Structure 1
């Protein structure tokens, strides 16, 4: 797709300058509009960059498409396909290169055609005399015919025909070599022509020869041997095409620049359209036209003429006469011309100049590589992916839905609807949608998205949505390994760049839709009808106006700009995911093969040392537990709560590092013998068992710390994370027993997302509030400020506090007044309790005076 405006620019440098200028202007306008509309930077910057990239792609694709087409055409030529041509519409250097490439392709196609014709014609010319000669010799050998003069004469004729063909081919080889030199002497033209005619009469053709030279003493400087080839071939051609008893006229005369030779016969003549073709190699006329011979004579005649710096061509016969008339113009002094020079200026077998050039054929079947193909290479090829207008429209619809629903609203039912629409659009066009893993990921994503309707705690909802995005990307590319999961996550933002050519093809496809005009008219008339009648009914009925106000968004300037940015952002994100599903990258690269270590101790010694460190640590843990608090404080100077809090983070890191050690050892350990497998299972199995004990110790430490200092969202989250690591350790142990671990990465991904979903299902803020209420009931210690900061999910639990404490827990809370698109189960349940305890007068300030843990 090229731009007609840019095609008129005659310089690539100017085009690049215009491209940069337009991109900068578009980016500046979009950024300025976003600033005026109050769009936050985290939203305006990506949208601005995306639109600038889109404009750059739109304008640059026409500049680089000839180069990509040339690359594809060159590959086709390497395979022997010379039909490809490059679109050359621009006037710059790239356009000139494209036109030169097309001319080169025409020449190569002509040479290839001539090569094929050469093989076919030589085979044909050799087959006929060889078959005849073999037939005669077989008859003689079998005794069918006697070796009389007639039979021998027939065999000799065929042998002479083969000899003439071989001689012509040798002359043709000299033509192709282009290295023939002239040895010039002064030649008497009349004597030379008479000797050539005398030799021609020996052939025995029943024609008469008429030689006329003006002036009779005309002399010329020429290579006599080459000139004899020229005249002999012309006479042979004329005598073969003349009727029996016909006259071959040979005339020579002086001219201003040299001398002219003409040979005319009384045959059928040469059609105007064939007058250049007969000078080509094997360019004979058909038998119906009186053809014959090898078809090399006139090609050699043109070569000799070129060597002397002259010209040869057929002209119309003289008035009131018929036949072929060939004219040769030669200079007084030959100008040495080689065949190579003439080929560079005017190919010997070039088609007539008046013949129109063939129409440019479409580029070869293989689509030319775009800049994106070269950038992403084998990691993310794009082969035969057509544009998809429906996918683009679906994603644009999701963006419009998000622009209507999301702004100025909390997470709730509207958010869930937008996520469902986005997921449906992505899954509909995914090539892996029938994969069981992809389907499982889709179901898990729906459940994770549903947390936006069930829970008010934004921290758990956001974590679930992030986990859903990770699961979605893994499902779209059907990933199987941890590196593939990472590559899938990185591919999502990169899809916005990789999919630009596909987006351009989708935009081009809109022009080819016959029903697009009718669909556009339908949309326009439908919107017009809804707007007109909606405004009338809204002005006539207050209830209808209130309902319309809920559905129709506020379209003030700031709101309109924000919604426009959200449309582009959300639509672009969904479109990138859709492209990822349509054309997933090759995330399962496999990498270099792993070479196990040569000696067992190279991996076994480090693993056993790690096992020993774990044993010493567990011994220290047992000593601390059995020694009691007094022993611990005497040895370390720490209270037990401080002691357990100090080591939780380190134990979590140690658990994660253990999984890394197991992975590295399993990759490098040889498994050639039963002893190798036994050591592998034993050492790593012991390490996994010790790690499970460490996991249990870490969870116990966090429990003790929470009992002492209270329960928080972060502490609960790290508890779940540590439990997930313990679950992975168990999975590693199962893989070690079965010696099959291909299922483990997917199981780890789905189990992690499942645990996060389970955490959301237990209502974490309510769980935290319940444990803090229990702690307050048992000890009287509580952090009122922290409880007041919990989401509405915790309100039903906080409402169970004694009457004197409810005001502190629910201080400054008011019922939410959200519309139906913000409906959320947690907020809905909290509203009833907040209203029922509206008489509580405690405030945050008064609660600070109460005891706190």
Structure 2
């Protein structure tokens, strides 16, 4: 039952849905504002909760419409055994019930039409074939009175078959008479074999009955029909000159029963097909095919009519072919109706609840709305609900809410990152993939920077890189588009996984004993809170102990922790869904068609090579001409000159990678000459690019010596060096003309470069080099040094005692608990403890103008 199923109007449901969603969003946003929650945290949480409420209330509102769409498409292809779910009382529910009635009526009409045609065709074929053979013999002058008698018997059988078909129609209507009498079994089997011989097939029939005078209680017409159909099936699948054996005997165990076994020497029936061949319109699973399978379906119907059973069994040891065994009671119970359930007329459904589909009726599952939204880009592979994953995500959110608020980055932050990353990785489909393992290891190492370094900027970069690496590992992305799609898929998974979240929450209603456990936990927590507050207010010592153990849970802090729980828990849950059902981030790209003429790719690459060569010649002129030549020619000092071109050289390096990629895709490689041209031109371009990289790094070094060292300049240095590494990797790939590994190498090497920068302790490195520059030139930017993190504080000890406050400023040491412990802040404690008072005048006097 859906939440809004009691409402009888679709318009009212939509109004309630909009009103509740708006109210929930307003309440959550107002709670965040009152609690002082930052906008970057409150807005995503508000949107997520509003979407969750909308999804919950809208559950089932449009499902019948989507089911009817799928059912109508199947009915258009001739499949009428489809039903849709109708649980609501509104206009959509009424339409669904009317659709089910229409589908049931159409299915009945179509089934009767098909079964009538198939039954008539099958049942008339055997006697007509026998009668045709006899008449052909008579026309050729072959035959006697016995042949005419046999022809008459076949004509009588045709008349009987018409009656049988009418009886079959009665079966479909739910009425089938049975008139049992005492029947000598031996003559009946001989008669059936005689009629089978009249078909003219080159098959011998061997009939044996034990005891020979065995008499059974049965409807002779029905029993003859059963044996005739089984013999017809056996003769059709026997090879020319083969023998069809018919064995009947009374069974000692269980007493009161007898068996009829019909065996042939054909290819036999596969075990997996032995049950299916008795279905209507089934086919015999043999190499030479068979009829429609209606004959064996009628044989089963007759068997069921007599209270027996029919099946294929393994042939006797050393035998081949198929063996049909019919087990019947010597005296069957009188029956007036043996219509199979699937042929019975279904009852008229009640007006309100949806009819329960009977046997043979296939309910249509509605295609989820999100499947239509995401399409083949992100299919859902029958993913079941995972309650442990949901509980783990909630636990991660609670842990983050307890640890993160009002603490600086440190050990606690690292533990939160590890817990949040472990949950999706533990359930990831790709967790055993070497690339995913490498991403996980690098992500963990990058996360450790939050307690190794006090600089927030490098810690933030490392956490973002760790998150990106984790997403790429979960999706097993292989190329740059896949890396970008992996990063985008994380927030989108919060929307894509709403249906999965609903299936997971639905498991809470069937927990059994676990439901009792949940109730126990709820009552225990409630008792802890109530009695804990009472005793804390009654005893000061108990209150001190409680404050030391429990976090601050005042209104403001409670709201903040609640928002953090939802945000972190939701992010972990979204990543877990991404791990369980990763999207197809690497779309199969059509193979790039090489250009027809070599000059189409070669000319642009040669032009780029020529431009690079001109630039390198200009660099040589600057080197050999010296500073005077540069200033006379351009009017720039050397420091201004190198600063002017560094950014452009970095862009040129990145564009070179693009040129190499495009040329490698478009250049033909069919001949050795083509491959030689490709290696030579791109190799020259990569070699010149390496010189450009070296020039860019040299320019930045000169500029830093002249104007000082900063975080941005150091980061750009590392980035340019990483681009140079990629150029070297391109050279390696060009030797083998295979670069499938390059995108993942670029991703992992970039993460490793960032990790190396963090381990270098960039703030301390910048501080040391600026102090060295100050000692050489007397120039320093004290305000910039004061803005560096505690990581740089130990480097200030190289300054004279009276100048250390100039770099430290008004910085004071902080008292961190163990969850806030950070290596950078810890190493700065002793220096800050001994620092003198900051005097701006002293610092200004120490700096060379």
Query: TM-score normalized by structure 1?
Result: 0.74
Moved more, 791-800 or 535-544: 535-544
Where 2:788 maps in the other structure, the secondary structure is: coil
CA distance in 1 between partners of 2:349 and 2:718 (Å):
81
Which among 370, 383, 387 is matched to residue 372 of structure 1? 370
Residue 49 of structure 1 pairs with residue 47 of structure 2:
yes
Deviation at 1:17, TM superposition (A): 2.4
For residues 156 and 568 of structure 1, do their structure 2 counterparts lie closer, same or farther at Cα, with a shift above 3 Å needed? same
Moved more, 96-105 or 399-408: 96-105
For residues 825 and 530 of structure 1, do their structure 2 counterparts lie closer, same or farther at Cα, with a shift above 3 Å needed? farther
Deviation at 1:93, TM superposition (A): 2.5
Where 1:804 maps in the other structure, the secondary structure is: coil
Residue 841 of structure 1 pairs with residue 826 of structure 2:
no
Conserved in 2, the CA contact under 8 Å of 1:37 and 1:561? yes
Name the structure 1 match of 2:388. Answer: 390
Moved more, 366-375 or 352-361: 352-361
Deviation at 1:746, TM superposition (A): 0.5
Which among 634, 642, 645 is matched to residue 644 of structure 1? 642
CA distance in 1 between partners of 2:348 and 2:412 (Å):
71
CA distance in 2 between partners of 1:568 and 1:287 (Å):
65
Deviation at 1:513, TM superposition (A): 1.3
Deviation at 1:466, TM superposition (A): 0.8
Counterparts of residues 185-200 of structure 1 (less than 5 Å): none
Deviations 1:417-436 (A, max 9, x none): 11011011111111111111
For residues 358 and 66 of structure 1, do their structure 2 counterparts lie closer, same or farther at Cα, with a shift above 3 Å needed? closer
Name the structure 2 match of 1:247. Answer: none
For residues 361 and 666 of structure 1, do their structure 2 counterparts lie closer, same or farther at Cα, with a shift above 3 Å needed? farther
Moved more, 422-431 or 85-94: 85-94
Residue 577 of structure 1 pairs with residue 571 of structure 2:
no
Name the structure 2 match of 1:608. Answer: 606
CA distance in 1 between partners of 2:393 and 2:843 (Å):
50
Deviation at 1:555, TM superposition (A): 1.3
Deviations 1:469-489 (A, max 9, x none): 111110000011111101111
Deviation at 1:91, TM superposition (A): 2.2
Name the structure 2 match of 1:635. Answer: 633
Conserved in 1, the CA contact under 8 Å of 2:381 and 2:581? no
CA distance in 2 between partners of 1:507 and 1:541 (Å):
42
Deviations 1:445-485 (A, max 9, x none): 11000000100001110010111111111000001111110
Deviations 1:287-314 (A, max 9, x none): 99x9xxxxxxxxxxxxxxxxxxxxxxxx
Which among 113, 120, 144 is matched to residue 147 of structure 1? 144
CA distance in 1 between partners of 2:610 and 2:522 (Å):
76
For residues 79 and 453 of structure 1, do their structure 2 counterparts lie closer, same or farther at Cα, with a shift above 3 Å needed? farther
Deviation at 1:443, TM superposition (A): 0.8
Conserved in 2, the CA contact under 8 Å of 1:812 and 1:843? no
Where 1:615 maps in the other structure, the secondary structure is: helix
Conserved in 1, the CA contact under 8 Å of 2:722 and 2:750? yes
Name the structure 2 match of 1:234. Answer: none
Where 1:555 maps in the other structure, the secondary structure is: coil
For residues 832 and 80 of structure 1, do their structure 2 counterparts lie closer, same or farther at Cα, with a shift above 3 Å needed? farther
Where 1:769 maps in the other structure, the secondary structure is: helix
Counterparts of residues 525-564 of structure 1 (less than 5 Å): 525-528=523-526, 530-531=528-529, 548-564=546-562
Superposed CA RMSD: 3.4
Deviation at 1:162, TM superposition (A): 5.1
For residues 655 and 529 of structure 1, do their structure 2 counterparts lie closer, same or farther at Cα, with a shift above 3 Å needed? same
Where 1:841 maps in the other structure, the secondary structure is: coil
Name the structure 1 match of 2:2. Answer: 2
Which among 726, 750, 764 is matched to residue 728 of structure 1? 726
Conserved in 1, the CA contact under 8 Å of 2:357 and 2:363? no
Name the structure 1 match of 2:798. Answer: 800
Residue 360 of structure 1 pairs with residue 357 of structure 2:
yes
CA distance in 1 between partners of 2:346 and 2:448 (Å):
75
For residues 728 and 47 of structure 1, do their structure 2 counterparts lie closer, same or farther at Cα, with a shift above 3 Å needed? same
Name the structure 2 match of 1:121. Answer: 119
CA distance in 2 between partners of 1:424 and 1:824 (Å):
22
Where 1:461 maps in the other structure, the secondary structure is: helix
Which among 760, 770, 773 is matched to residue 772 of structure 1? 770
Deviation at 1:545, TM superposition (A): 5.4
Conserved in 2, the CA contact under 8 Å of 1:85 and 1:361? no
Deviations 1:256-305 (A, max 9, x none): xxxxxxxxxxxxxxxxxxxxxxxxxxx9xx999x9xxxxxxxxxxxxxxx
For residues 846 and 69 of structure 1, do their structure 2 counterparts lie closer, same or farther at Cα, with a shift above 3 Å needed? farther
For residues 632 and 16 of structure 1, do their structure 2 counterparts lie closer, same or farther at Cα, with a shift above 3 Å needed? same
Name the structure 2 match of 1:111. Answer: 109
CA distance in 2 between partners of 1:537 and 1:33 (Å):
29
CA distance in 2 between partners of 1:797 and 1:458 (Å):
18
Deviation at 1:354, TM superposition (A): 8.1
Counterparts of residues 193-212 of structure 1 (less than 5 Å): none
CA distance in 2 between partners of 1:164 and 1:529 (Å):
83
Deviations 1:322-347 (A, max 9, x none): xx9xxxxxxxxxxxxxxxxxxxxxxx
For residues 14 and 542 of structure 1, do their structure 2 counterparts lie closer, same or farther at Cα, with a shift above 3 Å needed? closer
Name the structure 1 match of 2:284. Answer: none
For residues 113 and 830 of structure 1, do their structure 2 counterparts lie closer, same or farther at Cα, with a shift above 3 Å needed? same
Conserved in 2, the CA contact under 8 Å of 1:783 and 1:852? no
Which among 748, 751, 771 is matched to residue 749 of structure 2? 751
Where 2:58 maps in the other structure, the secondary structure is: helix
How many corresponding residue pairs? 679
Where 2:802 maps in the other structure, the secondary structure is: helix
CA distance in 2 between partners of 1:755 and 1:572 (Å):
30
Where 1:63 maps in the other structure, the secondary structure is: coil
Counterparts of residues 493-504 of structure 1 (less than 5 Å): 493-504=491-502
CA distance in 2 between partners of 1:786 and 1:364 (Å):
73
Which ranges of structure 2 fall in alignment gaps of 5 or more residues?
Answer: 166-220, 222-297, 306-335, 337-342
CA distance in 2 between partners of 1:617 and 1:366 (Å):
68
Deviation at 1:495, TM superposition (A): 0.5
Deviation at 1:823, TM superposition (A): 1.0
For residues 428 and 842 of structure 1, do their structure 2 counterparts lie closer, same or farther at Cα, with a shift above 3 Å needed? same
Deviations 1:668-708 (A, max 9, x none): 11111111111111111111100000000000000001111
Deviations 1:128-164 (A, max 9, x none): 6336636856997999x9623x753652564487599
Where 2:636 maps in the other structure, the secondary structure is: coil
Conserved in 2, the CA contact under 8 Å of 1:611 and 1:686? yes
Name the structure 1 match of 2:504. Answer: 506
CA distance in 2 between partners of 1:769 and 1:366 (Å):
69
CA distance in 1 between partners of 2:640 and 2:26 (Å):
55
Conserved in 2, the CA contact under 8 Å of 1:84 and 1:361? no
Which among 588, 591, 610 is matched to residue 590 of structure 1? 588
Counterparts of residues 342-361 of structure 1 (less than 5 Å): 351=345, 359-361=356-358
Name the structure 2 match of 1:787. Answer: 785
Which among 672, 676, 681 is matched to residue 674 of structure 1? 672
CA distance in 1 between partners of 2:570 and 2:347 (Å):
54
Deviation at 1:523, TM superposition (A): 1.5
CA distance in 2 between partners of 1:151 and 1:786 (Å):
119
Conserved in 2, the CA contact under 8 Å of 1:596 and 1:669? yes
Deviation at 1:631, TM superposition (A): 1.0
Counterparts of residues 283-322 of structure 1 (less than 5 Å): none
Where 1:803 maps in the other structure, the secondary structure is: coil
Which ranges of structure 1 fall in alignment gaps of 5 or more residues?
Answer: 170-239, 241-282, 291-323, 325-348
Residue 466 of structure 1 pairs with residue 464 of structure 2:
yes
CA distance in 2 between partners of 1:691 and 1:831 (Å):
46
Conserved in 2, the CA contact under 8 Å of 1:713 and 1:765? yes
Where 1:649 maps in the other structure, the secondary structure is: helix
Residue 704 of structure 1 pairs with residue 680 of structure 2:
no
Where 2:724 maps in the other structure, the secondary structure is: helix
CA distance in 2 between partners of 1:847 and 1:798 (Å):
14
Conserved in 2, the CA contact under 8 Å of 1:83 and 1:361? no
Name the structure 2 match of 1:406. Answer: 404
Deviation at 1:588, TM superposition (A): 1.4
Query: TM-score normalized by structure 2?
Result: 0.74
Which among 422, 439, 444 is matched to residue 424 of structure 1? 422
Deviation at 1:848, TM superposition (A): 3.6
